[in-house]
Structure 1
Amino acid sequence: MLSEAPDVLSEVLKLIRLRGDHVFHGELSTGAEVTFSPGPAIFLHLRTGELAVSQRDGEAVLLHPGDFVLLPHADGHTIRANAGAKARQCFDADVSSGSRGTAQTFRWAAGDDVAGSFLAGAFYFDGAPLRSLLTGLPGLIHLTCDKSMEPAWLGAISHFLDVESRAPSPGASLMISRLIDLLVIRTLRMWVSKQGNRTDWLSGLTDERIGRALNAMHQAPNEAWTVKSLADIAVMSRSTFSERFTAVVGLPPLRYLARWRLTVAADLLRAGTLKVVDVAYAAGYGSEAAFSRAFKAQFGYPPSDAHRISRGSIFRARSSELV
């Protein structure tokens, strides 16, 4: 993985700002199935046994001890023992009632045995302006990490999450939130490094030349970038760079740049400390009018309304592409 790639990922993750402080322990007996409704994103680290995890209407992924799963889109999922057999008893999970910073233990049992146990947690991506960028993530990220091959960081973070949640002390909620940040970020870094045939901005992180251009755009979105100047950074001809960037990332270079500029602007407006005109120039727009038109086309309302819109609905990007 190229040296510039973590910088791009860091720029994106800084705006996402994860929020999470809920950890729980789960046990399933043989023949049990538990369904999690849509809500927060979930991670799961299997400790013992074998369990199968599936998204709604998706194929089951079999987990072995040490395996880790991240479900970033919060669309709901199912965990079951004995993937090939019909469940003898089905449960609906309710893991939201516990106090912050204190782990709960849930036992979903169809019998007396334990088919699998895990440590899991819930979190939110507190950065809805990046929703269009986060579509590059799959609904389920599976890290195959048997006990002999488990990365040191995964075992360490999981261990400290367990310790902090089982014996909470002052500051435990903040500590758990920070540990979840680390866990999710390290998971995304490991997953990105293994991608080779995707078409989105994430795949651009593993392409050395395209990664240079991505890094430049992310580090200085207000720069007057052109396809030629970006191609020079990538050490490619203009036409070759444009074709390669579009093939790897899925958008032409300047369209991707426009999306990133608006993403940065949305985050600045959310803070409510800068005037719209200042945000426009910080995002690389030559005039407030041009910025306002582009912002409304992407988010559905003018930038002047951004700060007062409720956190629950703020910055819901339209599904249409930027023009």
Structure 2
Amino acid sequence: MDVLTEALASMRTDRPASVRTNGRAPWGLRMPPTAGAGFHVVLCGGCWLIPKLSTGPADPVRLEAGDVIFLRAGPEHVLTDEPGTPAGVAGAEYFQDDELVGAYNIGGSGELTSLLCGNYHLDRARPHPLVSQLPELIHLRTRDGRHPQLTSAVQLLRTELDGPRIGSSGIVPALIDSLLLYILRAWMDECPTRSAGWATALKDPAIAPALAAMHADPANSWTVESLAGRAGLSRAAFAKKFNTMVGEPPLTYLTRWRMTTAARLLRESDAPLAAVAARTGYGSEFAFAKAFKREYGQAPGGYRRAHAMPVEAVAA
């Protein structure tokens, strides 16, 4: 079970929105806050990112061709050829385009910078702890041989965007979806090996198998003892290590994952409530509905009606 993929899929509420932004100096673009996670890939040229994080405005960040930016909570930020250049606001039309990836042209007649900009629609009301533990801003450089898989994904995207061919309508959305996994994998590779948190939990020889077991079979009657057996540790040692790395006790995380799985099934399928209850470890529809309402504040049926995903987004 790929815990990273499952965790991200559990938060996904729609397909990514993306647009190719072409700026010719002088240019500046203010991106308003978005509900989800923002990303930028510099396809050619260079520019500056001026982020506004939860702690307030941050120092400008220089971006060059091949750089990738991930903004965990979609904060307001500015992209510009130079700090100080006036920045217009990206309006509602920014992502409204019938093309495979929309095009947005801005600026004067100077040097060209081309970026792929967009956001991943993620449920920020109940974020998976893997995502909530991420830095607000991740800046990855793919030059000089760093992160070869991420580099390849960026190069493939640029090739498809520069010269769309037969199959591009399927390839580009899949590459943009995959880009999020490549970004997080590259960031985890850069994390110190002795740091706590999900970046190390997913690679830890004891904790990773326990997480994979819960993700693969949330309906199982897992106990701390049975999970410790998967980890090859004593009950006490496992519970302490899990709590340190993941940020909560094993059975608390199991309940969270069961509810997260249930919400995803309600959004993405028409499975009967009894089937959803069985797949998430509840012996009756009543017990499941009570637990779900306690976690989400509404009954499963009401949640399904309010949050059902479009068919095309589920199929993506």
1:73 equivalenced with 2:34 (yes/no): no
Report Cα offsets for 1:22-48 as digits up to 9, x if no partner: 330332536x54210123643222332
Alignment pair present for 1:104 and 2:103: yes
Q: Which amino acid aligns with 1:68?
A: V
Q: Point out 4+ residue stretches in structure 1 off by more than 6 angstroms.
A: none
User: Does the CA-based 8 Å contact 1:192-1:205 persist in structure 2?
Assistant: no
One-letter identity of the residue aligned with 1:75: P
- Structure 2 residue 182 is the aligned partner of structure 1 residue 186: yes
Whether 1:22 and 2:18 are equivalent positions in the alignment is yes
Aligned pair in 2 of structure 1 residues 104, 181: CA closer, same or farther (>3 Å)? same
Q: Is the 8 A contact 1:15 1:267 kept in 2?
A: yes
Aligned to 2:270: 273
Q: Normalising by the residue count of structure 2, what TM-score does the alignment of the two structures yield? A: 0.82
The answer (yes or no) to whether the contact 2:142–2:150 under 8 Å persists in 1 is no
- Aligned partners of 2:199 and 2:148: how far apart in 1? 24
Tell me, yes or no, if the aligned pair for 1:50 and 1:81 is still in contact at 8 Å: yes
| Percent identity (aligned) | 31
Contact 1:129–1:263 under 8 Å retained in 2:
no
Structure 2 match to 1:55: 52
Partner of 2:217: 220
Equivalent in the alignment of 2:139: 142
How does 1:1-323 map onto structure 2 within 5 Å? 7-17=2-12, 19-20=15-16, 22-27=18-23, 29=25, 32-39=27-34, 41-46=37-42, 47-56=44-53, 57-60=56-59, 61-83=61-83, 87-94=84-91, 95-109=94-108, 113-114=110-111, 117-125=113-121, 131-133=127-129, 134-146=131-143, 148-169=144-165, 171-196=167-192, 200-311=197-308
- Is the alpha carbon distance of 1:64 and 1:150 closer, same or farther for their aligned partners in structure 2, counting shifts above 3 Å? same
> More displaced, 68-77 or 12-21?
12-21
TM-score, reference length from structure 1: 0.80
**Which secondary structure state, in structure 1, belongs to the residue aligned with residue 116 of structure 2?**
strand
The total of aligned residue pairs comes to 299
Quickly say closer, same or farther: Cα 1:143–1:8, change in 2 above 3 A. same
Q: Cα RMSD between the aligned structures?
A: 2.8
CA drift at 1:169: 4.9
Residues 68-120 of structure 1, C-alpha deviation per residue, up to 9 Å, x if partnerless? 1122422322223445xxx14222124223323144142335xx543x72321
Gaps of 5+ in 1: 313-323
What are the superposed Cα offsets for residues 144-167 of structure 1, whole Å, 9 maximum, x if unpaired?
222x22433333322332333344
TM-superposed deviation, 1:58: 3.8
Change in 2 beyond 3 A, CA 1:155/1:272: closer
- What are structure 2's unaligned runs of at least 5 residues? 310-316
